Amino acid sequence: MNIILFGPPGAGKGTQAKFLIEKFKIIQISTGDILREEVKLKTDLGISAKNIMDNGDLVPDEIIMSIVEKRLAEPDCKKGFILDGFPRTLNQALELEKILKVQNSEINKIIFIDVDEDILIDRITTRALETSNIREDDNSTILKNRIKIYKKDTKPVLDFYKNMKKLVTVNGMMSIEDVSKAIVKLL
């Protein structure tokens, strides 16, 4: 089962992905996590991505696609995967289709965690206060930019999968447990 978890920043994609990898014994591919690791290791990729990420902008598609293509070629993806934070542009979604076609594979479902955009700022501010591992991009100016980019560049990806009849929507305003239950029901 190959799944995309989709939603605005702060929708709870990462939290739900952790639950699903346990439940279905499949792997999570988070482009954000991979990029943060590169930043930490100060690789060339990490150094060039850091400023972009700190501003809440999107890392160029070519960089993202080379990360994803490499990761999807690894054998542990064969049993199924959850994409979290990817695709974030229509171009990334189209490129993903090409990669999967070559691998004789496909996306089975895209789960849209729908959250009222007004509460996102509150949620991420709380995440920043509660975690000891504070993300540089969890502050309100940058968050506003991330939401703006989500609306402009990322939301069109929803229509792409809607047309392919692969999109299912979950109400992301419920408790974490109820969102998890709703997702399991849909899969």
**Residues with catalytic roles:** 13, 88, 127, 135, 146
Q: Which of 3, 32, 161, 172 binds ligand AMP (CB under 6 A)?
A: 32
**Residue span binding ligand AMP (CB under 6 A) among the ranges 30-38, 105-113, 118-126, 157-165:** 30-38
| CB closer to ligand AMP, 49 vs 167 | 49
The count of chain residues that interact with ligand AMP, using the rule CB under 6 A, is 17
Closest residue by beta carbon to ligand AMP: 32
> Long-range CB contacts (< 8 A, 24+ apart) of 179-186?
179/12, 179/16, 179/113, 180/16, 180/19, 180/20, 183/16, 183/19, 183/20, 183/111, 184/23, 186/109, 186/111
Residue 88 in the binding site for ligand AMP (CB under 6 A): yes
Contact of 3 with 110, CB cutoff 8 Å: yes
Q: Which residues, 137 to 176, sit near ligand AMP by CB under 6 A?
A: 137, 146
CB of 63 to ligand AMP, least distance (A): 8
> Long-range CB contacts (< 8 A, 24+ apart) of 36-45?
36/135
Binding mask 48-77 for ligand AMP (x = CB under 6 A): ----xx--xxxx----x-------------
- Pair of tokens at residue 147: 């939401």
- Whole-number Cα distances in Å, 171 to 2, 13, 121, 168: 21, 12, 17, 10
| CB closer to ligand AMP, 26 vs 143 | 143
- Pair of tokens at residue 9: 């920043």
Q: By the criterion CB under 6 A, which residues form the site for ligand AMP?
A: 9, 31-32, 35, 52-53, 56-59, 64, 85-86, 88, 92, 137, 146
